[in-house]
Amino acid sequence: MINQRMYDLGAAPSAIRELFAYGMERKAMIGADKVFDFSIGNPSVPAPEAVRETILKLMDMDPVVLHGYTPASGAPQVRQTIADFIKREYGVPATPGQLYLTAGAAAGIAISLAAICNAGDQVIVPSPFFPEYRIWTEQIGCQLVEVPCLQPSFALDVPAIEAAINEHTSAIIINSPNNPVGSVYTRENLQELAAMLTRKEAELGRAIYIIADEPYRLLTYGADVPYIPCIYPRTIVCYSFSKCLSLPGERIGYIYVSDLMDNARETAIAVAGAGRALGYFCAPALFQYVLQACLELPADVEAYRINRELLTSGLRELGYEFVEPQGAFYLWVKALEPDAKAFSERAKKFELLLVPSDSFGCTGWVRVSYCVSRECIEGSMPAFAALKASYDAE
C-alpha cells in the first residue's frame, strides 16, 4: 500500500552513496589508509575559521531570535546582504524579494522545478548530469530529456538542445562548473544557448527557464564562470554553500530568481509556494546568520588545486585519458573498457572507488572525486598503475 516509486527510490540508493557505503565498510575492514575512496563530493577542506568564529559570536545572541522561525524566504537582513552582494559582484539589479533561502541547492532545484513546471512538461539536462535531477523532475510528473554534451570538450551542444525543445519544454538545468565532468561552460557557449532559447521562447510563445545549479561557482582553477542571469534573463540561480564553505551537512543555500526576467515577481512567488508545498518552512536559522557574516569569503581551493595537479599528472603519466578539469573537484576519466560498471568493479579489487558514468547518464567513464586528502591521491597511484596494468596485460 506504500508508494512503490518511493520504495524503489529508497531501496536503490544512488550509485555514489552505495559506493561510499561500501568504502566505509571496506575501510573498517582493512584500514582507512588502504582504501582510495574517490566516491563522494564531501569537501575535504575544513570550513573557514570565520565560520567557527561567527557561530561562537552568535552564541551571544538572544536564543529566541537566533533559533526562532525566520520568514519562509529567509531573514530579511540576510536576503538583503545576499542581494547587495549579487548586485555588486555581478552588476545585476538583485533585490531581496527575489531571494529564497533554501536547505542547499538540492532543495533549491526541487523547489524551482515545482514552481515553474506543470505535469507533463519536459526538462532538458545536458548529459552527463547529477542523477538526482531526474528524480526531482519525475517527482512532479515531468520528463527529463537528456542531451549529450559535445565530446571531447563536454561543451553544450546547442543545436542538439534546440532540437530537443518543443511545446512541453519548461526548463534546462545548467551546472557549471560541472558535476561530474569538472568542465566550465564558456561565455560564448552560454551566449549561443541564450540566443537559441530566446528564439525558441518567441517561436513557441512559452517561457523556457535556465535553472543554474551553482554549488561549484567558486571552485575553479583559473576559468571564468559567467553569471548566467547576465546572459539570459529567465534564469533561476540555485546556489549552495555546501562546497565553497565546506558546509554540506548544514543544508544552506539560496534560490535567486533573476530580477531581469519579465515574470520575475510571479516566479519568485511560485518559488515560495513550492517551498511551502514541499514541506520547507525556512532554511536553518543559525546558518542563515552565518551566511550573512561569511558570504564574501573566498573558497579555499588550494588543497583541491594541489590534488588536481597530483591526480592529473599522475594519471596522465600512467596513460589514462580524462577531461582537463576546470572547476569543482571531479576528474572525469575514460574507463579502460566500454562498460564503466565493470571497470569500476575491477577498480574495487585495487581498493579504488570510482563512480561509473552510467549513474550520470552516459557510458564509458568514471568520476573521481578528488576532495580527499593529499595522502589518498599519492597513495592511490600504485593502485591506478596496477589497474591499468591489469588491462594492458589482457
Between 222 and 298, name the residue whose CB sits nearer to a copy of itself: 298
Looking at residues 61 to 120 of the shown chain, list those that interact with a copy of itself (rule: CB under 8 A): 62-64, 66-72, 103-104, 106-111, 114-118
- Quick one: which of 195, 219, 235 has its CA closest to 90? 235
In sequence order, what are the beta bridge partners of 255? 100, 238
Q: According to the binding rule CB under 8 A, does residue 298 interact with a copy of itself?
A: no
Task: Work out which of 247, 291, 376, 377 binds a copy of itself, going by CB under 8 A.
Answer: 247
Number of residues that bind a copy of itself (CB under 8 A): 83
Provide DSSP, 317-381. HHT--EE---BTTEEEEE-SSS-HHHHHHHHHHTTEE-EEGGGGT-SSEEEEE--S-HHHHHHHH
- Residue 138, all three cell numbers: 519525475
C-alpha cell at 51: 565560520
Burial of 151 (0-12, 13-18, 19+ CB in 10 A): exposed
Q: Which of residues 42-71 bind a copy of itself (CB under 8 A)?
A: 42-47, 51-52, 55-56, 59, 62-64, 66-71
The residues facing 257 across adjacent strands are: 236
Stretch that binds a copy of itself, among 79-87, 146-154, 189-197, 284-292 (CB under 8 A): 284-292
Interface with a copy of itself in residues 124-163 (CB under 8 A): 132, 135-136, 139
Q: CB-wise, 57 or 349, nearer to a copy of itself?
A: 57
309, three cell numbers = 595537479
Distances (CA, A) of 57 to 183, 186, 247, 285: 38, 41, 18, 15
Query: Would you say 71 and 282 are in contact if contact means Cβ atoms under 8 Å apart?
Result: yes
User: 300 in helix, strand or coil?
Assistant: coil
DSSP 82-106: HHHHHHHHH-----GGGEEEESHHH
281 binds a copy of itself (CB under 8 A): yes
Using CB under 8 A, which of 176, 246, 312, 344 touches a copy of itself? 246
Which of 84, 146, 162, 266 touches a copy of itself by CB under 8 A?
Answer: 266
Q: 168 vs 334, which CB is nearer to a copy of itself?
A: 168
Asked if 250 is part of the footprint of a copy of itself (rule: CB under 8 A), the reply reads yes
- Residue-wise DSSP of 192-242: HHHHHHHHHHHHHTS--EEEEE-TTTT-BSS-----HHHH-SSEEEEEEST
Q: Which of 32, 277, 306, 342 binds a copy of itself (CB under 8 A)?
A: 277
Considering only residues 163 to 192 of the shown chain, the ones binding a copy of itself according to CB under 8 A are 170
Interface positions, 307-366, toward a copy of itself (CB under 8 A) = none
Return the residues of window 202-221 that contact a copy of itself according to CB under 8 A.
Answer: 206-207
Residue closer to a copy of itself by CB (options 279, 338) is 279
Quick one: 124 or 155, whose CB is closer to a copy of itself? 124
